[in-house]
Amino acid sequence: MKFDDYIYDLSSPGRTGVDLPEPDVPPTPIPEEFLREDLPLPELSLPQVTRHYLRLSQKNYAVDKGFYPLGSCTMKYNPKVNEWAVRLPGFANIHPLQHPHTVQGAMGLMYELQEMIGEIAGFDAVSLQPAAGAHGELTGVLIMRAAQLARGETQRHKVLVPDSAHGTNPASTSMAGFTAVEIPSDKDGNVHIEALKAALDDEVIGIMITNPNTLGLFESNIVEVCELVHEAGGLVYGDGANLNAIVGIVRPGDLGIDVMHFNLHKTFSTPHGGGGPGSGPVGVTAELAPFLPGPIVALNEAEDAYIWHYPEKSIGRIKSFYGNFGVMVRAYAYIKMHGAEGLRRVSETAVLNANYLQARLLQMGDYPVPYGHRFCKHETVAQGKIAGAEDVRTLDIAKRLIDYDFHPPTIYFPLIVHEALMIEPTETEDKETIDAFLDALDKIADEARENPDLLHEAPHHAPVRRLDEVRAARHPILIRLPSAKAASER
């Protein structure tokens, strides 16, 4: 499969795909100064356009086409019934400015979703506003700060972030105007307790912690971490990125976490391969509930009606209207479809799949697993350091996996593991698929030793060959203008 022409290159002067009707209102001339000589739009027939975009879509890789073990992204299969639900006219055809009396069903869904995810993670109140995970982080940090300011603690400005954290944690801290302080991990991949103690003082807003962490490991010190931070007057932010490993098994709120975001698009199966839209609701303890961004949905029991509610000390709006509603409907459908028992089985199977994958990697021995002495949770982190193939790097292995028709894992993250290959199979994959992926990794290790250039030049069978990422970063071309050929024919 080759890369096709750009749609501009297929253009033919005068060709058209639609017949516009005669205007049924009196024409008004466009003022002279707004007229232009040339409008470089492609001119094509309807079948040409259909084929062009269908062919492009077929070159895409998607979880509906194959295994997508992109670590930290929870690329599980997205049930199609979610899509049916979100297209119901009562959800699809409403407007955010409609009177609440006319959208009680949609508001009821939001209310129940607030309640359900609050129960799942052990929080007293939830706001569905944030648009995605990092947006939830920013919201959470602002809530923590607002609560401390309300106590008169104006000196706090530091947020502690473990060195295994997602880069969004320090980024959210900076964006909120605070200082990120890095905390190292210990040899088992947990937060280093002594380093944490040394960093805690009355200038600390709190800690941002991901559990399971990005090494795919459960933070076994989590309760102690929460206690230490609380003793110092700080608050604990839970990054819910890896919630898929623990649903129905442990509740972050019960562990001592004060505020956490959910990634509805990951844990609760809404499509996000193309970058979204996501949804990053934030759950908080009762103490922090007054600071949540509004509006949230409340139940007016006297009138038996759902109403928009602005928490009394709210940090304010952080998104237009009510958040990404379509994602909420899909997540609601997914939660209802599974029920409490089903959700627990989701997490158990996700963890089982990842541990099977890790155990076979350890058995193969070609790819070191630096924390392989522990059971992992929903994902495992290996290294693209194949003995006997020292000039092959993780990037080459990832590109070669494309030739075997697999989406590569996340690479070079977490930063504390050299040449990282971060693999998250999710619960929706069967054993045969995981075995096929591991067999490909096994073959690639042999290839790396026998014919390293096969890997250096990979992929060989993809629509495009190895992309020059360095040149793209140094000299980006962000707009593709019509080619000279197409322009000269116009």
Report the run of H or E that residue 298 belongs to, with start and end. Answer: strand 296-300
Cβ atoms of 161 and 207 closer than 8 Å:
yes
- Minimum CB distance to other proteins, residue 97 (Å): 41
- Minimum CB distance to other proteins, residue 473 (Å): 4
Give 13's contacts (C-beta < 8 A, 6+ positions apart).
Answer: 43, 489, 490
Cis check for the bond before 414: say yes or no (omega within 30 of 0). yes
Q: How far apart are CA 13 and CA 172, in angstroms?
A: 49
- Minimum CB distance to other proteins, residue 412 (Å): 4
- Minimum CB distance to other proteins, residue 443 (Å): 25
Report the Cα 41 to chain-centroid distance in Å.
34
- Minimum CB distance to other proteins, residue 425 (Å): 22
- Report the residue number, 45 or 383, with the smaller CB distance to other proteins: 383
- Report the residue number, 249 or 464, with the smaller CB distance to other proteins: 464
- Report the residue number, 157 or 490, with the smaller CB distance to other proteins: 157
- Report the residue number, 213 or 285, with the smaller CB distance to other proteins: 213
- Minimum CB distance to other proteins, residue 368 (Å): 8
- Report the residue number, 165 or 331, with the smaller CB distance to other proteins: 165
- Report the residue number, 70 or 128, with the smaller CB distance to other proteins: 70
> Distance of CA 267 to CAs 91, 240, 272, 378, Å?
22, 9, 11, 11
- Minimum CB distance to other proteins, residue 242 (Å): 20
Would you state the structure tokens that stand for residue 55, as one six-digit string?
């062919």
- Minimum CB distance to other proteins, residue 120 (Å): 33
- Minimum CB distance to other proteins, residue 466 (Å): 12
- Minimum CB distance to other proteins, residue 187 (Å): 10
- Report the residue number, 312 or 391, with the smaller CB distance to other proteins: 391
- Report the residue number, 167 or 339, with the smaller CB distance to other proteins: 167
Q: In what order do the strands lie in the sheet with 410-411?
A: 380-383, 420-423, 410-411
- Report the residue number, 122 or 372, with the smaller CB distance to other proteins: 372
Nearest to 39 by CA among 4, 13, 5: 13
Q: How far apart are CA 93 and CA 323, in angstroms?
A: 16
- Report the residue number, 473 or 478, with the smaller CB distance to other proteins: 473
Q: How far apart are CA 293 and CA 316, in angstroms?
A: 5
Q: What angle do CA 110, 114, 116 make, to 5 degrees?
A: 110
- Minimum CB distance to other proteins, residue 420 (Å): 9
Q: How many CA within 13 A on the CB side of residue 7? A: 17
Q: How far apart are CA 239 and CA 252, in angstroms?
A: 10
Nearest to 147 by CA among 10, 4, 284: 284
- Report the residue number, 215 or 247, with the smaller CB distance to other proteins: 215
DSSP β-bridge partners for residue 70: 423
Q: How far apart are CA 436 and CA 422, in angstroms?
A: 17
Q: How many CA within 13 A on the CB side of residue 265? A: 23
- Report the residue number, 114 or 185, with the smaller CB distance to other proteins: 185
Cβ atoms of 308 and 297 closer than 8 Å:
yes
Would you state the structure tokens that stand for residue 380, as one six-digit string?
């495992």
- Minimum CB distance to other proteins, residue 184 (Å): 11
Residue 309: CB atoms within 10 Å: 15
Contact set with other proteins (CB under 8 A): 167, 368, 370, 383, 390-391, 393, 395, 412, 415-418, 469-470, 473-474
Would you state the structure tokens that stand for residue 166, as one six-digit string?
């997602």
Burial class (CB in 10 A: 0-12, 13-18, 19+), 265: buried
Nearest to 275 by CA among 266, 285, 283, 284: 266
| Beta strands 259-262; 235-240: pairing state | parallel
